[in-house]
């Protein structure tokens, strides 16, 4: 792989296996490459291994076997402290159950995402206001969580995840707790962020959502069983194939 190609690779997994207690195999020989600027779904039923894959890609867990490179860094070569720093700088997370801090404004909830950035509080709050405007909440800066709808809370969670401009945004069932209308707004927001350059992986069991995204990585029983482009002009990819 050339240096130019490597610089465009955000995620590279090769031969990744994850076992728990030496008995349960959650992932088995997973190969996955995610390039800068992609929008993809990692889709599978409950128990398929997609949550374990999320933890591996998000550096929340390490594989039993195989190599993981995130933003050009070999995860195996990093101490826990350096791994935490890598995660804080390069990876943003949005979870199904968003839990904004009660009694704290939307702006300050988002600004907390920059708490360890070294930036002054005034700069953190200004950046938070800017990203809240990007997600359509310019008129909700000072609203507390109890004053926000479920969809608005999820948009606050997305704003917090992207305020530090991470290389990769991992959205785990981002619409799972929302009604269909609010879910559609959140997915439209993720598409908008992707058009602005964000690299986004949506982890979901919803095949309709997965089918609506440009790339779909299907996982079952801990293995990638398909890696397809949801564009008629682009042929399906073989599991684990390079982009």
Q: Supply the CATH number for residue 110's domain.
A: 3.40.50.300
- Give how far the C-alpha of residue 135 lies from the chain's centroid of Cα atoms, to the nearest Å: 16
User: Can you give the pLDDT at residue 116?
Assistant: 79
HSE, side-chain direction, 13 A CA sphere, residue 40: 24
Q: Looking at the domain assignment, is residue 238 inside a domain? A: no
Domain around 38: 3-229
User: Can you give the pLDDT at residue 1?
Assistant: 37
- Give how far the C-alpha of residue 101 lies from the chain's centroid of Cα atoms, to the nearest Å: 21
User: Can you give the pLDDT at residue 232?
Assistant: 41
For the chain of 243 residues, list the mean pLDDT of each consecutive stretch of 10. Answer: 56 96 89 96 94 95 96 95 92 86 94 88 95 93 94 92 93 89 90 92 94 96 94 44 43
Give which of 67, 98, 69 is closest to 5, Cα–Cα: 69
User: Can you give the pLDDT at residue 169?
Assistant: 96
DSSP 18: E
**What is the Cα–Cα distance from 215 to 236, expressed in whole angstroms?**
10
Q: Looking at the domain assignment, is residue 29 inside a domain? A: yes
Q: Looking at the domain assignment, is residue 43 inside a domain? A: yes
Q: Looking at the domain assignment, is residue 235 inside a domain? A: no
Name every residue whose Cβ is closer than 8 Å to that of residue 51 and which is 6 or more positions away in sequence.
172, 203
DSSP 99: -
Q: Looking at the domain assignment, is residue 240 inside a domain? A: no
**pTM score, two decimals?**
0.87
Q: List own/partner pairs for 81-90 with CB under 8 A and 24 or more apart.
A: 83/59, 86/59, 87/58, 87/59, 87/60, 88/116, 88/164, 89/164, 89/166, 90/166, 90/167, 90/168
Q: Are 199 and 34 in contact (CB under 8 A)?
A: yes
> For the chain, what is the domain count?
1
Q: Looking at the domain assignment, is residue 239 inside a domain? A: no
Q: Looking at the domain assignment, is residue 147 inside a domain? A: yes
Q: List, in sequence order, the alpha helices (H) in the chain.
A: 3-7, 50-57, 80-90, 106-111, 121-134, 150-162, 180-195, 207-211
Axis crossing angle, helix 180-195 with helix 150-162, rounded to the nearest 10: 20
């Amino acid at each position: 792989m050339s240096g130019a190609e490597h610089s465009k690779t955000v995620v590279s997994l090769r031969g990744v296996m994850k076992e728990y207690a030496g008995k349960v195999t959650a992932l088995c020989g997973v190969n996955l490459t995610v390039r800068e600027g992609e929008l993809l779904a990692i889709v599978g039923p409950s128990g398929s291994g997609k949550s374990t894959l999320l933890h591996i890609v998000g550096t929340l867990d390490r594989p039993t076997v195989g190599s993981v490179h995130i933003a050009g860094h070999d995860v195996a070569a990093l101490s826990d402290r350096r791994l935490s720093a890598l995660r804080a700088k390069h990876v943003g997370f949005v979870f199904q159950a968003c839990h904004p801090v009660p009694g704290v404004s939307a702006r300050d909830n988002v600004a907390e995402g920059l708490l360890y950035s070294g930036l002054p509080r005034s700069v953190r709050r200004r950046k938070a206001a800017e990203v809240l405007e990007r997600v359509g909440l310019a008129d909700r800066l000072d609203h507390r969580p109890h004053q926000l709808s479920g969809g608005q809370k999820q948009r606050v969670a997305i704003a917090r995840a992207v305020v530090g401009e991470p290389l990769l945004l991992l959205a785990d069932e981002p619409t799972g707790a929302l009604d269909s209308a609010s879910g559609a707004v959140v997915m439209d927001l993720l598409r908008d962020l992707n058009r602005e350059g964000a690299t986004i992986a949506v982890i979901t069991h919803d095949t309709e959502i997965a089918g609506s995204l440009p790339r779909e990585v299907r996982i079952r029983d801990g293995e990638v069983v398909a890696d397809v482009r949801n564009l008629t002009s682009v042929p399906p990819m073989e599991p684990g194939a390079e982009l």
